[in-house]
A and B are shown apart, each in its own frame.
Chain A
Amino acid sequence: MGLMSIVSGKFSPLKIPGCTLWLEADRGITLVDGKVSAWADQSGNGRHAIQGAVDNRPTYATNQLNGYPAMQSAEGKGLQIVDTGIVSLTALTMILVFKANDVTTNQVILGTNTTGVAQILNNTMRVYLDTGIGGDFAYTSTATSILVLVFDGAQVGNENRYKAFLNGEQKALSFTGTVPDTFPTKTDLYIGAYTGLYDYCFTGLIVVPFLSFPSVLTSSRRQQIERHYSSKYAIALA
C-alpha cells in the first residue's frame, strides 16, 4: 500500500522522501516586467532563488519546451539561492533539466562562488564538487537534457563516489582530483551563473535548475524522475 501510494497518481518529487530543494519553471515564479525576480522552492524548505538586481534578472519565456515555460538565461543573468544549507553531506542526488543554445563557450548551469557544479565548456560537460575536483564527459547536444548527479561518500574510488547520468545513461567521467567522502560545503548557489558577478552565464533555457535529495536515490527512483521529465519536456531517454 505504501509503495503503491508512491508510484500511483500524478508524479511529484515530494512523493520521494527527503526532497530538499525543488525549482520548476511552471511553478512559483515571480515576474517583474517579464523578468524573473524570484523562483520559489517547491520543497517547502524555503530555499528560494532570487534576483534583486534588475539588470541581472533572467527573462521568463512561455511556451518553450514542449509547450511549457522556461527561464531564458543569458550573459549577466542569473538567480541566487542564499544559504542553501546543503553542506558536507555524505550522499546527494541532484537533477537538472536544461537546453543549451551552444556547447562551445564556458557556461555554468548551476554554480557556487568558487566553481560550477555543472558547466558546459568546449563540447564537454564538467561536473564539479569543488575547485579542482570533478569529472568531464563529452557533451555536444543542444537538445533538452536531463542531468542527474549522484554523490555517494560511503563508496570507495572516484567513479563509485561520483556518477553522472545524462538522459538516463550513465556517463564515464574523466576525473580531476580525488573525490572526497563528503560533499564539499556549498552555501550560496547560483542558477545559470557563477559568482556574484554573474560570470560565465548559461545561455539557453532552464526548466529544472535544481532538484535535490540528501541521499543516493535508488535506480528505480532516479528512473521514475527521468521518465517524468522525459514525458513532460519530450526528452528522448537512452
Chain B
Amino acid sequence: MAFVTTTDKAELEKYQAEVDSKEGYPEDLARHIYVGGGIHAPKELGQAKHYAEIIQHPDKTEYALPQSVKAEVTAKLTAVEALPVDWVKEEVMMEDK
C-alpha cells in the first residue's frame, strides 16, 4: 500500500476514491445485519465510507493512510511535532518499505 503525502486536497480525494473503489467502500449496507430485538440504528450510521482516512499533521500537511496504521502514524506525528517536517515525512514513508 502506497501512502500519499500531499497538501493538494483534490489529489487526495482522487486517491481516496480510487482506493475506496478498489476496496469496495462505501460498505454495502446489505452486509450490515441486525441482531437482537428492540430498536436498531439506521445502517448508514455505522457504515464505513472510506478505506483510508485523511489525517492532518500540525504543519497542515495531509496524509491518506490505511485505517490499520492510522493510530500508529498519528501518534508518531504527534511525538515528533517539534522536529523538521521533512523528517516526519521520511518516517511516514518508511512505513511503506
Residues of A within 8 A of B (CB): 24-33, 36-42, 44, 48, 50-56, 60, 69, 76, 197-198
Contact = CB atoms under 8 A, between A and B. Distances in A.
Interface string B44-81: 01111100010000000000000110110011000000
Interface of B: 27, 31-41, 43, 45-49, 53, 67-68, 70-71, 74-75
Given A52-B47, A197-B71, A197-B74, A32 B39 contact: no
Query: Interface centre among A25, A30, A51, by most B CB within 10 Å?
Result: A30
A38 B48 contact: no
B32 to A, nearest CB: 5
A77 to B, nearest CB: 11
B46 A50 contact: yes
Contact of A51 (B36, B38, B46, B68): B46
B38 A37 contact: no
B39 A41 contact: yes
Given A53-B53, A54-B67, A27 B37 contact: yes
Contacts of A29: 34-36, 40
B20 to A, nearest CB: 12
A196 to B, nearest CB: 10
B43 A55 contact: no
Please list the 8 inter-chain residue pairs (A to B) with the smallest Cβ-Cβ separation, ordered nearest first: A37-B46, A27-B38, A38-B46, A48-B41, A38-B41, A40-B41, A29-B35, A55-B67
Contacts of A41: 39, 41
Contacts of B43: 30, 37-38
B68 A55 contact: yes
Given A37-B43, A54-B48, 9 more contacts: A27-B36, A28-B40, A29-B36, A32-B27, A38-B45, A55-B70, A60-B35, A197-B74, A198-B71
Contacts of A56: 67
B38 A28 contact: yes
A31 B35 contact: yes
Nearest to A51: B46
Contact of B32 (A25, A32, A69): A32
A24 B27 CA distance: 25
